Amino acid sequence: MDLANTLSTISIAAIPVVFAITVHEVAHGWVARHFGDRTAEAQGRLTLNPVRHIDPIGTVLVPAVLLLLNSGFLFGWARPVPVDPRNMRSPRANMVWVSAAGPGANLGMAVIWAFLMMLAQRVELGTAGQWLEAMAGYGIAINVMLAVFNMLPIPPLDGGQVLTNLLPKGPLSRFLEQIAPFGLFIVLGLMVSKVLWPLIVGPIDFLISLLAGVFGLQ
C-alpha cells in the first residue's frame, strides 16, 4: 500500500474507528451511572471527547497496523471506563445491562452509519458523497465487528460479563470469574490459531446484510 492510499484509508477510517471504540466505553459508564455507580463520572470519563478515552496501543497502533496490513479484520480498544458494581442497587442484574451497553451502542452507531451511507448513495454530493459513503462503510463494518466480537461469551469481554452475571451463582459462574484474568490470552489464542474469524463471520455478515436490506444500500 503506497503512502497516498495509506493516508486516504486513514482519513476515511479514523473517525469511525475512534468513535466506535470511545462511544462503546462511554455507554458502559452512562448505564452504570443510571444504576447508581458514578465512578466514571467522578473521573471525567462520561464525555464523547475521544482524547479522554484513547489508549495509544488499542485505539491507535493496533487498528492502524491492521488497516495497513489489509488484515480483513479490524478491532481495537479504548481505556476501559471504570465501573464499580458495589455502588449499584442490584449489582449482578445491573451489570448485565452495563456490560451489554457497549455492544448495544456499537449496533446503534452501525444504524447511524447505514443511514448516512443511504444519504450518500441517494443524494448527489460529488466527491464529498464518495468520501462519506466510504467512511460510512467503515463505520458499519467496525461497529458490527466490535458488537459481535465483544459479545463472545469469554470474560472479560462484554459477552462473558453478561453470561457471568446472568448465571446463578455456582460452579459455572465461578469458573467464568476465574478465567477472566486470562480472557485476553484466550482471545489472542483464537486469533493466532485463526479460529476467531470463523466464529464471528456469520453474525457479522448477517447484521451487515440486514442493515443493507433495511436501508437499501448498494
Is the confidence at residue 205, as pLDDT, over 70?
yes
Q: What is the pTM of this model?
A: 0.88
Question: Catalytic site residues?
Answer: 25
- State yes or no: cis peptide before 156, omega within 30 of 0: yes
pLDDT, tens digit (0-9, with 9 covering 90-100), for 96-123: 999 999 999 999 999 999 999 999 998 8
Contacts of 144 (CB under 8 A, 6+ apart): 106, 107, 110, 204, 207, 208, 211
| Euclidean distance between CA atoms 3 and 138, whole angstroms | 19
- In this structure, what C-alpha cell is assigned to residue 188? 489472542
| pLDDT-based confidence at residue 183 (cuts at 50, 70, 90) | confident
| pLDDT-based confidence at residue 51 (cuts at 50, 70, 90) | confident
Identify how many contiguous H helices and E strands the chain contains and give both numbers: 9, 0
Contacts of 132 (CB under 8 A, 6+ apart): 116, 117, 119, 120, 125
Mean pLDDT of 137-157: 93
What's the pLDDT at 27? 96
What residue type is 110 in one-letter code? A
